[in-house]
Structure 1
Amino acid sequence: MSSSPQFAARIFRAFRYRDFRLMWTGACVSTIGTFVQQFAQSWLVYDLTKDAFYLGLDLFLGQLPIMMFSLFGGVFADRMDRRKMLLVSQYIQMICAFLLATLFAMHLVKVWHILALSFFVGVGQSFGGPAYSALLPSLVGAEDLSNAIAMNSIQFNLARVVGPTLGGLAYTALGATWCFALNGISFLAVIATLFMIRVTFVPPKTTESVLKSMKEGIQFIRCRDGMTVLVVLAFCTTLFGFSLTSFLPVFVRTIFDKGPETYTLLLVCSGAGSIAGALWAASVEKMKEKGRLTLVILISLGVIITGFALSRSLPFSCVLMFLSGLALMASTSFMLSLAQLITTDAMRGRVMSVYSLAFRAGIPLGALALGKLIPLYGVTRTLGSTGVALMVISLYFLVANRESTFRPVSRQPQS
């Protein structure tokens, strides 16, 4: 009987820290609001244009600033007050949400308004993302950092389920204006928590140029054992591992000859697996052997993706979608934990901006490449090849690198 409370305490041990509880709650509310807006915004873009191209363009413009400016955001995260950077990021995103709500309420909204605002939201995220990644380790003890990162993944996946559901209800009952307004209101939660937390790390003053600081971050990654491997793995995981979810509609239509209900079922299976994977990652207390474990999970993910590509059984495919979500979430949580522990506080913003850039870049690049290859070679062969590629790359690093490669550094004293 006592094992269940102990297991729960181990999973949620990062919540022992007041500041982490506050940030987690604020971030969860804000992320739910973001998914509420995404639901309405997608419908609005398509209603205005009747062209699927603009849906892709809207997503691309939201990601473009992150790819362009996140390295600069990492430099500033190591030079400035990370809380202030996050606040500015939240203000930009909140203003964009309220502006879109106003434009829609006044019947003035055009598609170029939405595309421009998506770009500005991306600019805010390109500086807020590195600041958040750099701030997170200061909210918990070093021994609980892996758990905090896993709990952050749970927050995101919880919002991914709750947000679209609330978005659908709000869109039907209240209209698109309120979807955008609710997202704007949700930023108040994270802004309030940022004012309540205690930030202990004070970045040292420097007169170095931004480019020199950026080069120092890249040099740190090249010299620090295991960091280059993690950056490469992050890119390959999103390049090959995220392709399964991205092209599910093709499988549903061409392989199973089904409709949106089957697509939703497979997404739910993937989401459930993601939550299970995040809970598993949260329950792991020690970092020992986590590098090798991550590589084994990535090899397994490659096998799962290949199996899904070859499957013609819907129940079996549902099981594989659950396992893929579990493996993907656990591996990405472990990799992020290792990256955070390998770096130092003084370099954290720059290093995590490079890591995040590699992680994010794999998604659009993979989607673009596979979108060209699937019509030529078929969805089964193309997606099966991504699974094999992920297996081969992960197996290479498993054989070529020992666990000692992923050595965490001791937490630096706070000034």
Structure 2
Amino acid sequence: MSVGRTGALRNRNFLLLWVGNGTSLMGIFGARICYPILALDISGSAVLAGWTTFAASVPNLLFLPHAGVFADYSDRRRTMLSFQLLGAAMSAVLTVWVVISGPSLPAVLVVVALIEGTAFAYFSLAEVAAIRDLVPKDQYLAAFSLYEAEKPVAILMGRVFGAGLLGVARWAPFAGNLASYAVSIGSVSAMRGDFSPVASESTSRRESFWSRTREGISWVHRSRFLETSTIATAAANVLFQITILLLIVRSHQEGRPAWVVGFVLSSAGVGGVIGAALAPRLTKAFAPGPVFVAGLWAWALALTPMALTSYPIVMAVCWFAVGAVGTVVSVVNTLNRIEAAPPEAVGRVVGLASLITDGAVPVGAALGGYVLATWGTQTIAWLLPIGLAVLALSGGAALRYTHAPSSAEMKSSSGVPVESLN
């Protein structure tokens, strides 16, 4: 482990937040993989399965701008606690509902997924902003690499255990999610320090939500790399959501047990761990643009074998590669978002960029069921890598012709050279 990573892990508050959120993410990802599987099992409808995934992810489309403002203008620790408590309450409701075989279970699944997704949106932006405050600038790369590393681990363990628990009892993965929330709430509660808002209210005038949001947009617009990578990542996320539903539908059509889907999708977590280990070296050795475009090409290559076979081992290897590349891309994107704005605007910059990238997830989830029902699994399996190849070509062209910064543009107000962002 590098010195930078060791230093970040010696920070008590960062360690508590990292461990607590990592545990919570395992429960969340375990529950989320079970939402569409359970919906498909109940109804046999790929469309309903897509809508349950849509409900869990659509808050990213609806609330991330406000969550970014909220992270800048509220106590970040209190925000994280409040929304983790809300997520825990929803997990408890769903667990009880499944145990008692309550009526309208598909509708309850959608409502719980929607509210829990909303809580997660607000928590995640407050967490990113808090990490920037918790560690010194020379540990940003280490801290955010660790932050991104916990996601693939959570995907790996959460999806395996979630799908496995679903095979034991329908209520089990949601009870597990509730337990993971309890760990996170305890960890965040144990954090000490000043988590008061970085951005302060003016005594002469109180800015509106839209004024604050426009200020965040202006920071996003200053970086060509941030604009291009945000749009391309959003398009890729649409394609990946369709891919996940494709894997679920194929497995269901071929009569495979739920744990097979969990095994395939959890392989992204293994790849993500590898990607997290490589990300600091790649980020230091290459500019963000080439790393990002290479990631798009790697994704296109990774999905190509899925068009040729539905054999679980092959699909797991492909999804492993998707996860490895995805973590590297996430580290590059997160660092550039963090460095693109001053501390008082970081929540809004991250929120607005995430609105586009994460907001694309529910779009892909909603479209997935319809495109699969319309064109079939085989046609879609070929269109997915083709779509990513088109993104790689267009993203590379956009970044290749980025103008060289003038002397007046060489530094942003955060002190980060503009050329490092572009």
TM more than 0.5: yes
Match of 1:130 among 104, 118, 125: 125
Which segment drifts farther, 234-243 or 26-35? 234-243
- Please say if residues 299 and 394 of structure 1, whose CA atoms lie closer than 8 Å, have aligned partners that are also in contact: no
- Please say if residues 11 and 282 of structure 1, whose CA atoms lie closer than 8 Å, have aligned partners that are also in contact: no
- How far 1:178 moved relative to its partner? 4.6
TM-score by length of 2: 0.81
**SS in structure 2 opposite 1:353?**
helix
Q: CA RMSD in A?
A: 3.5
Report matched runs for 1:305-320 at 5 Å. 305=303, 307-308=304-305, 311=308, 320=318
- The match for 1:192 is 186
- Please say if residues 251 and 379 of structure 1, whose CA atoms lie closer than 8 Å, have aligned partners that are also in contact: no
- How far 1:369 moved relative to its partner? 5.1
Residue ranges of structure 2 left out of the alignment (5+ in a row) = 417-422
Partner amino acid for 2:94? L
- How far 1:289 moved relative to its partner? 2.1
2:208 is equivalent to residue 212 of structure 1: no
- The match for 1:302 is 300
TM-score by length of 1: 0.82
Partner amino acid for 2:22? C
Between the aligned partners of 1:39 and 1:363, the Cα distance in structure 2 is 14
**SS in structure 2 opposite 1:354?**
helix
For residues 36-57 of structure 1, give each alpha carbon's deviation from its aligned partner in whole angstroms, at most 9, with x where no partner exists. 4345555554455454433222
- The match for 1:395 is 396
For residues 237-284 of structure 1, give each alpha carbon's deviation from its aligned partner in whole angstroms, at most 9, with x where no partner exists. 323466544434577799xx8956876665454443222112211455
- How far 1:330 moved relative to its partner? 1.2
2:157 is equivalent to residue 156 of structure 1: no
**SS in structure 2 opposite 1:208?**
coil
- How far 1:317 moved relative to its partner? 6.5
Residue ranges of structure 1 left out of the alignment (5+ in a row) = 1-6
2:119 is equivalent to residue 121 of structure 1: no
Partner amino acid for 1:140? V
- How far 1:138 moved relative to its partner? 1.5
Between the aligned partners of 2:266 and 2:404, the Cα distance in structure 1 is 34
Partner amino acid for 1:141? P
- The match for 1:3 is none
- How far 1:22 moved relative to its partner? 0.8
- The match for 1:221 is 220
Which segment drifts farther, 47-56 or 74-83? 47-56
Q: Percent identity?
A: 19
Report matched runs for 1:205-354 at 5 Å. 205-206=201-202, 207-224=206-223, 226-240=225-239, 243-248=242-247, 266-267=264-265, 269-283=267-281, 286=284, 289-305=287-303, 307-308=304-305, 311=308, 320-354=318-352
For residues 44-99 of structure 1, give each alpha carbon's deviation from its aligned partner in whole angstroms, at most 9, with x where no partner exists. 54455454433222221222233112211111111111111111111111111112
**SS in structure 2 opposite 1:76?**
helix
2:22 is equivalent to residue 28 of structure 1: yes
- The match for 1:166 is 161
For residues 114-138 of structure 1, give each alpha carbon's deviation from its aligned partner in whole angstroms, at most 9, with x where no partner exists. 3222222222223223212222212
**SS in structure 2 opposite 1:78?**
helix
- The match for 2:420 is none
Which segment drifts farther, 243-252 or 273-282? 243-252
Partner amino acid for 1:129? S
Query: 1:291/1:55 Cα in 2 relative to 1: closer, same or farther (>3 Å)?
Result: same
- The match for 1:357 is 355
- Please say if residues 64 and 122 of structure 2, whose CA atoms lie closer than 8 Å, have aligned partners that are also in contact: yes
- Please say if residues 160 and 266 of structure 2, whose CA atoms lie closer than 8 Å, have aligned partners that are also in contact: no
Which segment drifts farther, 29-38 or 76-85? 29-38
Between the aligned partners of 2:120 and 2:310, the Cα distance in structure 1 is 40
Between the aligned partners of 1:70 and 1:93, the Cα distance in structure 2 is 16
Match of 2:58 among 47, 57, 64: 64
Match of 1:74 among 59, 68, 77: 68
- The match for 1:146 is 141
Between the aligned partners of 2:411 and 2:285, the Cα distance in structure 1 is 9
Partner amino acid for 2:145? A
- Please say if residues 67 and 357 of structure 1, whose CA atoms lie closer than 8 Å, have aligned partners that are also in contact: yes
- Please say if residues 92 and 174 of structure 2, whose CA atoms lie closer than 8 Å, have aligned partners that are also in contact: yes
For residues 375-399 of structure 1, give each alpha carbon's deviation from its aligned partner in whole angstroms, at most 9, with x where no partner exists. 5492354123213212212221341
Query: 1:193/1:403 Cα in 2 relative to 1: closer, same or farther (>3 Å)?
Result: farther
- Please say if residues 13 and 134 of structure 2, whose CA atoms lie closer than 8 Å, have aligned partners that are also in contact: yes
Query: 1:180/1:391 Cα in 2 relative to 1: closer, same or farther (>3 Å)?
Result: closer
Partner amino acid for 1:275? V
**SS in structure 2 opposite 1:343?**
coil
Between the aligned partners of 1:371 and 1:118, the Cα distance in structure 2 is 17
Query: 1:386/1:12 Cα in 2 relative to 1: closer, same or farther (>3 Å)?
Result: farther
**SS in structure 1 opposite 2:284?**
coil
- Please say if residues 235 and 361 of structure 1, whose CA atoms lie closer than 8 Å, have aligned partners that are also in contact: yes
Partner amino acid for 1:231? T
Which segment drifts farther, 155-164 or 337-346? 155-164
